[in-house]
Amino acid sequence: MSSKLKLILILALLLVLSFIWIDHPLTLFLKEHSTKTLRDICRFLSFLIAPLLHLILWPALFLLAALKRSKWQKKLWHLSINLFVINAAITILKIAVGRPRPKLFYANGISHLTLFSLDSNFHSFPSRHTATIFIVALFFAKLAPSKTWVFLLTALICSLSRIPLNSHYLSDVIGGMLLAMIVAPFTQKILTKEWYGKKKANLPDQ
């Protein structure tokens, strides 16, 4: 069993354990004990991993690289496609699962799933911010494998900021991580020459 598969299985187990035993106690604890300073820091970290920011930034850099015929063109193209794919997958899952956000649990005790809900208040699982920043972190980890854990740890710290802000439960964050680690290699395989063959790889080599 590969190390990547082991990590995915561990994350899946942690997601289940968190959903059953950790989510509500942790969010209640943070609601009662979080300070204004902590929330301000979390808002800043949350801004840094905002999906819209990355959906604009990286495609814009790709276009700039394409205009200059930079060696970064293909890399940034892959990252941009990964970001669009993960965000599309997240949207589908959010609607399908219909998990209420923590604020509904605090206010009305609502914790049951509302399947196929279009109400954003029921789009807690999985965390879009987390999935987005982990796609970016995996991109940089591929460029600099020796720094993999630095990128992943940074992404994790930023992702955890969503919990004190009452935007997500811990399992939502884990779900975003898990989805990114599944989608990124799959999308990358589709985009590479090993999948299409050399004749269909019309972007310049790295």
* Residue-wise pLDDT tens digits, 110-165: 999 999 999 999 999 999 999 999 999 999 999 999 999 999 999 999 999 999 99
* Mean pLDDT, residues 8-24 taken together: 96
Residue 205 maps to a domain: no
Residue-level pLDDT at 3 = 83
H or E segment and range at residue 38? helix 36-48
Q: What's the CA gap between 8 and 13, in Å, rounded?
A: 9
Residue 75 maps to a domain: yes
Residue-level pLDDT at 193 = 58
* Mean pLDDT, residues 24-35 taken together: 93
Residue 17 maps to a domain: yes
Residue 200 maps to a domain: no
Residue-level pLDDT at 192 = 76
Q: Is 206 a residue whose pLDDT tops 70? A: no
Q: pLDDT-based confidence at 175, cuts 50/70/90?
A: very high
Residue-level pLDDT at 179 = 97
Please provide the distance, in angstroms rounded to a whole number, between the alpha carbons at the two ends of the chain.
30
Q: Is 16 a residue whose pLDDT tops 50? A: yes
Query: How many CB atoms are located within 10 Å of the residue 10 CB?
Result: 12
Q: What's the CA gap between 130 and 50, in Å, rounded?
A: 9
Handedness of CA 158, 37, 25, 46 (dihedral sign): negative
Q: Is 194 a residue whose pLDDT tops 60? A: no
**In terms of residue numbers, what domain contains 89?**
3-193
Q: Is 201 a residue whose pLDDT tops 60? A: no
Residue 202 maps to a domain: no
Residue-level pLDDT at 99 = 98
Q: Is 204 a residue whose pLDDT tops 90? A: no
Q: Read off the pLDDT of residues 62-119 as tens digits, 9 standing for 90 and up.
A: 999 999 999 999 999 999 999 999 999 999 999 999 999 999 998 888 999 999 999 9
Where do we find the tokens 């911010």? 129
Q: pLDDT-based confidence at 198, cuts 50/70/90?
A: very low
Q: Is 169 a residue whose pLDDT tops 80? A: yes
Residue 199 maps to a domain: no
What pTM was computed for the model? 0.91
Residue 203 maps to a domain: no
Q: pLDDT-based confidence at 203, cuts 50/70/90?
A: very low
Q: Is 195 a residue whose pLDDT tops 90? A: no
C-alpha to C-alpha distances, 196 to 136, 188, 202, 203, nearest whole angstrom: 24, 11, 10, 12
Say how many domains are in the chain: 1
**Of 166, 174, 138, whose CA–CA distance to 42 is shortest?**
166
